[in-house]
Homo-oligomer: A and B are copies of this chain.
Amino acid sequence: MDIFAKKLKERAAQLGISNAEAARLCGLDERRYANYANDQREPDLATLVKIARTLGTSADYLLGLTDTATTDKRSRLVERLTVAASSLPDDQLATVVTQVEALALPRQKRPGKKTPV
């Protein structure tokens, strides 16, 4: 599956992270992940799912069954944010959400009922 290896590298590039970082995010041994990215080994299905989920993409994309390349620069930034945020512990994630939402909602005179984080 050379396509899988290519997509793996392509995805890491989209996210602006190294393969080693992608490995860490996925909770996989760095050498092991590198074997996937270099088309020397193939993961089992559970690992494939874990990678797709962690990198915020689909198995179909990683297997070349769809070509949904994210070319938009802003979209990729948002994806990087999603991937990074997903690896945070609950409390840090909650904090980040609060802060970014504060940034996003510039000035509403009366902040209405908002779901507490």
The listed residue (B13, B65, B81, B87) touching A97 by CB distance below 8 A is: B81
For the complex formed, measure the closest distance between the CB of A23 and the CB atoms of chain B, giving whole angstroms. 12
A interface secondary structure, majority = helix
Chain B residues whose C-beta falls within 8 Å of the C-beta of A77 in the assembled complex: 93-94, 97, 117
Q: How many residues of A contact B (CB 8 A)?
A: 54
Interface 1/0 per residue, A98-117 and B, CB below 8 Å: 00110111000000111111
Give the top 5 A-B pairs by smallest Cβ distance, nearest first: A16-B115, A84-B104, A1-B45, A59-B59, A84-B101
Residues of A at the B interface (CB closer than 8 Å) are 1, 4, 13, 16-18, 20-21, 24-25, 42, 44-46, 48-49, 52-53, 58-60, 63-66, 74, 77-78, 80-88, 90, 92-94, 96-97, 100-101, 103-105, 112-117
